[in-house]
Amino acid sequence: MSEDRILGIDFGGTKVALGLAGRDGTLLATRRLDTDAQAGAEQVVVRALAAARSLLAESGAAPAAIGVVSPGIVLPDRILLAPNVPGWEQLRLAELVAAEFPDVPISVGTDAKAAALAEWRWGALAGADPAVFLSLGTGIAAAVLVGGRVLTGANGAAGEIGYNLLSPQDTEGFASGAAPLEEAVGGRGLGGRASDLLGRPVTAGELFALAKENVEAKELVTAALDELSMHVANLAIFLDPQRIAVGGGLVRSADVLLPALADRLAHAVPFPPELVSARFDQDASLLGAVALALGE
């Protein structure tokens, strides 16, 4: 068995990704599971840990370290700002993983921040300072790196731009249970509005494809991109980053998404940053878990 293998586990709102990687970030074996969020948090963790055991057995490897990432702020006794899976906020995630893998060093953290670390270490943000990783998927978040270190904030919530207010009328925001920007432009919110508009179930990815020929879909996408690009431009004005890398599920529609963001950056920001697609596309958070296990 190799002692140079790192196990990464990425718990997401719709899927769980597991991967066994070398210390250079190369994924050697992967596995994916549906989260089945409505069945609750406990079953997700149980199935993921069983799959991790199976993956290790098939690979003949013992992990030197384990990295685990999740939406929200992962604390020892709970997870904050992670409402998508019932019961998720009550999980003691590090303890649950440690019980399955005693004597193995375990690191836990926020998925978007870990993904930023992976992109800086091995991907599209290498050498950029400051750098921003913009995660556009089921939820919306940003992660900032300064000198290659992720800015966590006083409460671990730096970059949680899904809670950005949309107008002066958004006087409560988080206090009212809302995440205004995430609900407006995140994959879940877009998919829900598209489904209502078109009278059938539609995902955000399908919406972007439909926008090329359907007038109603195009109007919805245009409004969402106008809103999102304004917030990204304000973020760039505030931070003056050298480079922004865009990842997450919505980057599958990069042909529509990136030009809209680039245009707003070019016209609104005094010193427009370089805008690129994340190198790891859908694996950024999984590799972020690996990077987290290796340490910054």
**For the chain, percent of residues with pLDDT exceeding 70:** 98
What mean pLDDT is predicted for residues 101-120? 94
Mean pLDDT of the chain: 91
pLDDT of residue 296: 60
pLDDT band with cut points at 50, 70 and 90 for residue 172:
confident
| Lowest-pLDDT range of 2-6, 67-71, 215-219 | 2-6
Interatomic CA distance for residues 78 and 278, integer angstroms = 30
The pLDDT score that the predictor gives to residue 86 is 80
- pLDDT for residue 249: 85
For residue 186, the model assigns a pLDDT of: 92
pLDDT in tens, 14-58: 789 999 999 999 999 999 998 777 777 888 899 999 999 999 999
Which sign does the torsion angle of CA 219, 221, 224, 230 carry? negative
> What integer is the mean pLDDT of 60-67?
91
Average pLDDT (154-164) is 94
Tell me the one-letter amino acid at 149.
Answer: R
pLDDT at position 3? 60
Give 41's Cβ-side CA count (13 Å radius). Answer: 17
Mean pLDDT, to the nearest integer, of 108-114? Answer: 94
pLDDT in tens, 191-219: 999 999 889 999 998 999 999 889 999 99
For 60-86, what is the mean pLDDT? 87
Residue 4 has pLDDT above 90, yes or no: no
pLDDT in tens, 227-240: 999 999 999 999 99
Return the pLDDT at 175. 86
Percent of the chain whose pLDDT exceeds 90? 72
Instruction: Check pLDDT > 60 for residue 2.
Output: no
Confidence of residue 143 (pLDDT cuts 50, 70, 90): very high
pLDDT confidence of residue 1:
40
290 and 113 Cβ atoms separated by less than 8 Å: no
Contacts of 86 (CB under 8 A, 6+ apart): 37, 38, 40, 41
pTM: 0.91
Reading phi first (left if > 0) and then psi (alpha if -120 to 50, else beta), residue 187 is in alpha
What per-residue confidence (pLDDT) applies to 34? 87
Cα 291 from chain centroid? 14
The residues that bridge with 18 in the sheet, in sequence order, are: 9, 31
